[in-house]
Amino acid sequence: MRFALLAAALLSSLALCASAAEKTTLRLGDVKGDRFISLRASGQLDNLPYDLKLTSFDSGAPVQEALNAGALDVGFTGDLPFLFVFAAGAPVKAVGAWQNNPDSIALLTRPDSGIRSLKDLKGKQIAVNRGGWGHYLLLGLLERAGLKPDDVTLRFLGPVDGHAALASHSVDAWAAWEPYISSAIVVDKDVLVPQGGGNGILSGYSYALARESALADPAKRDAIADLMTRLAKAQTWAAQHPQEFSHALSASLGFPEPITARWITSARIRPVDFNPRVAATLQQSADFFYEKRVLPKNVDVSKAFDYSLSRGANQVAASEGAK
C-alpha cells in the first residue's frame, strides 16, 4: 500500500512537471517574413517562454484569410486589408502597430510607358491589389490629378502577378510596396511615377492582429503582449543596424543585398505608440473607401482595436522617439 501511494505521488508529480514544461504555441503569419527576420536577427527570439510557429505570405490578404479561418493566432499585415475583414465580421482585433514611410508605397511604371505625370495615367491600365495599399494610393492619386476612377482601367492583381503584368507590358503601371518596389527598380529598371507633392495619402501603418479566441486564452494573451514588446525592440534594432538587417533579409529571403538595402532605407519601419490616434487613421481610410464605393458599407472601426497588450511596446516606442 505504501509503495502504491509513493508510486501514485511520483506519477502525479511527473504529470505536474510535464504540464508546467508544456509551452504555449503562437501561430504567426507575416508578409514576406521581414518582421520575423528582424525578431530573429536582433536576438529577440532567444529564450522565448512560448513556441512561435511562422507562416510567411506574399501579401496581407492571405494573412487575413488564414486568421479568419483559425489557422493563425497572430498576423502581421497592413491596415487596409484589415479594414475589409473587420467590415466582414472576422473575429480579429488589432493589438499593436508600427509605421512604414508612406512614400515606400508608390506607383511604378516602365521608362517606355509614356507616363511622366499623374495626368498621363488617363486611359492606362494599372495593376493594384484590391482593397489594399495600392488600391487606396491609386484612388488618392487620381483624385489629386483631377481624374476619375473610370478614367483608367484597374487590373486587380496580387504583387507577384502585378510585377509580371508590368514586365510583360500587360499593364502600364503598378501600385506596389516594399520589397517589390526596390526589386522592380534595381532588377527591372522600372521608375516611380511622380506623385505630385509627396504621398500624403496613406498613413503607412501596419498592424499586429490577433484572433479573439487567442485573446480569450490567458497564456496566449500573455505571449502576444510579450511578442509585441519584442517586435518593437527588434524594429528599433533593425533601424539602428541597417547593414546587419539588410544582410539578414538577403540571406533569409534570397534577395540580393542591393535590393534589401534599398528596401529598408525606403521603408524606415519604426514602432509607434498604439493608441486611439492610430484608429482614427483607419476610420479616415474606411470613410474614403466607402465614398469611392470600394467598401460596401460605412464602418465604425472603434471596436477593431485592443490596446491592453501594447504597454511594453509603447514604452519601447516612447524611448526610441525620445532619442
State the CATH number of the domain containing residue 38.
Answer: 3.40.190.10
- Which residue intervals of the chain are DSSP H helices? 2-21, 34-41, 60-68, 79-87, 133-144, 159-167, 180-187, 212-215, 218-240, 242-253, 257-267, 276-291, 311-321
Residues 160 and 212 grouped into a single domain: no
Of 192, 219, 239, the residue at which a domain comes to its end is 192
The predicted pLDDT at position 9 comes to: 47
Count of domains for the chain: 2
Residues 214 and 297 grouped into a single domain: yes
Of 163, 192, 221, the residue at which a domain comes to its end is 192
Q: Domain range spanning residue 53?
A: 24-100+204-321
Residues 88 and 110 grouped into a single domain: no
Gap between the Cα atoms of 208 and 35, Å rounded: 10
Residues of the chain with pLDDT under 50: 5-11, 13-20, 322
The predicted pLDDT at position 17 comes to: 43
Residues 96 and 160 grouped into a single domain: no
Residues 141 and 225 grouped into a single domain: no
pTM of the model: 0.87
Residues 223 and 309 grouped into a single domain: yes
The predicted pLDDT at position 11 comes to: 46
Residues 89 and 129 grouped into a single domain: no
**491609386: which residue's cell?**
138
Residues 227 and 307 grouped into a single domain: yes
The predicted pLDDT at position 170 comes to: 97
